[in-house]
Chain A
């Protein structure tokens, strides 16, 4: 049973390493034009402060 968990967790660690060192999913999303040009982007109540 220990061997099974070692293999499983090694797989998880390698997968994490692959995702980490290839920066997969770690970029901030490119901001879309429609949101950027509108009045959004900040929470509305903040504008009143």
Chain B
């Protein structure tokens, strides 16, 4: 594409003509801001006085490839929104793109996010201005959700445009989203135009247009939710959560031990004989009592065949309950367990002694062997459950941010 030179009739500054196709009707002088009529001998139509160029990494004349088509930036229009728009910054820039083979398109720049848009002649089946947020809208077979509507005002114009843009020209914009795609209706006094938009990976566009400056991306409704690392973490966690649950169930059903002795007594001391065949796994001592707003403390010893103490333990069992301040309360438990191992199979003696107890307590003792405790898998299950919910929580947070303006509207 060749660049020709023209002189501004107002300030005499040179105006680059990028040859942006037959539909270009206005040019803007980058020195004095005069908008010139390209169809009528470059007469002055309007002027943007003392308006600074909005900051962006693009400038007119840059060339690059978007979706496989080589475009030239021939013009730019900066907008500022007023009432209604609640997401993003207050200003953004639409760069007009031109390709001799593919015509005109727009590259919108806002908070580092790049959106590619093209006009469409198709019209959605529903009337966009009558839709409420989140209401569904079908367009060319795709379902969009109505997002928001707002007024936007032209604040700055530069380069070649296919219409005459004046300062403070007002556009009423209606937007529907289907990230990374969007459908928008721009309505002015004279016309209504629909556009299809698509979120672009900024890095690719910057590289193609030769932009060296990295710009961090902000939030944009067309930017799809993406957390691949978290998704992988949560997905794999969900699978392992199921595996942990199956292992716990297996242990509880098949590895909870075999009862080798059961005894019941109401005395302050007791000797219980039992035999262990499977010393490989734990022996469980289950103690059930009838303590009621009281406690019992047992000294427990396990004696082997050689009359040596192989295990000793002190266990307090206490259970208190009552009714106070309109509420029932309880603390402690009537039941407790102890787990220990013996080194070999054989006969053992269990000694119970309650030296401090004034009253006898009805006590049931159940001894089990070959017990496996799923303790570690329970913690693993909790960990995997928490990990598997992280992605869902993050997605819910994204959705909350996406539709935050609805909440704000309700608050207003």
Residues of B within 8 A of A6 (CB): 236
Binds A, one of B16-24, B87-95, B189-197, B225-233: B225-233
Closest-by-CB residue of B relative to A29 is: B313
Interface string of A30-46 (1 = CB under 8 A from B): 11010110000111001
CB contacts between A and B, total, < 8 Å: 85
Interface string of A13-49 (1 = CB under 8 A from B): 1001101110100111011010110000111001101
B244 touches A13 (CB 8 A): yes
Closest-by-CB residue of A relative to B317 is: A42
A20 touches B375 (CB 8 A): yes
Q: Looking at chain B, what size class is its interface with the partner chain?
A: 35 or more
A16 touches B311 (CB 8 A): no
Binds A, one of B117-125, B150-158, B291-299: B291-299
A23 touches B244 (CB 8 A): no
Closest-by-CB residue of B relative to A36 is: B314
Q: Give Cα A2–Cα B318 distance, bound, in whole angstroms.
A: 49
Closest-by-CB residue of A relative to B338 is: A28
Interface string of B330-358 (1 = CB under 8 A from A): 00000000111100000000000000100
Closest-by-CB residue of B relative to A37 is: B299
Closest-by-CB residue of A relative to B310 is: A30
A30 touches B313 (CB 8 A): yes
Residues of A within 8 A of B251 (CB): 20
Residues of B within 8 A of A23 (CB): 281-282, 341, 372-373
Closest-by-CB residue of B relative to A41 is: B314
Closest beta carbon of chain A to B258's beta carbon, Å:
16
B372 touches A42 (CB 8 A): no
- Check: B247 CB closer than 8 A to any chain A CB: yes
- Check: B312 CB closer than 8 A to any chain A CB: yes
- Check: B80 CB closer than 8 A to any chain A CB: no
State the main secondary structure of chain B at its contact with A. Answer: mixed
Residues of B within 8 A of A43 (CB): 316
Known A5-B236, A41-B297: A13·B380 in contact at CB below 8 Å: yes
Residues of A within 8 A of B313 (CB): 28, 30-31
Closest beta carbon of chain A to B231's beta carbon, Å:
9
Interface string of B232-244 (1 = CB under 8 A from A): 1101110010011
Residues of A within 8 A of B377 (CB): 16, 20
Contact of A9 among B236, B312, B373 (CB under 8 A): B236
Closest beta carbon of chain A to B187's beta carbon, Å:
45
Closest-by-CB residue of A relative to B373 is: A26
- Check: B323 CB closer than 8 A to any chain A CB: no
- Check: B329 CB closer than 8 A to any chain A CB: no
Closest beta carbon of chain A to B100's beta carbon, Å:
43
B376 touches A5 (CB 8 A): no
Closest beta carbon of chain A to B177's beta carbon, Å:
28
Closest-by-CB residue of B relative to A5 is: B236
- Check: B384 CB closer than 8 A to any chain A CB: yes
Known A5-B233, A9-B236: A19·B376 in contact at CB below 8 Å: yes
- Check: B180 CB closer than 8 A to any chain A CB: no
Residues of A within 8 A of B294 (CB): 49
A27 touches B374 (CB 8 A): no
Q: Jot down 14 A-B pairs with beta carbons below 8 A, ordered by A.
A: A1-B228, A1-B232, A2-B232, A5-B237, A13-B247, A20-B374, A20-B375, A23-B281, A27-B341, A28-B339, A36-B314, A43-B316, A49-B293, A49-B320
Residues of B within 8 A of A (CB): 228-229, 232-233, 235-237, 240, 243-244, 247, 251, 281-282, 293-295, 297, 299-300, 311-314, 316, 318, 320, 338-341, 356, 372-377, 379-380, 384
Residues of A within 8 A of B (CB): 1-2, 4-6, 9, 12-13, 16-17, 19-21, 23, 26-28, 30-31, 33, 35-36, 41-43, 46-47, 49
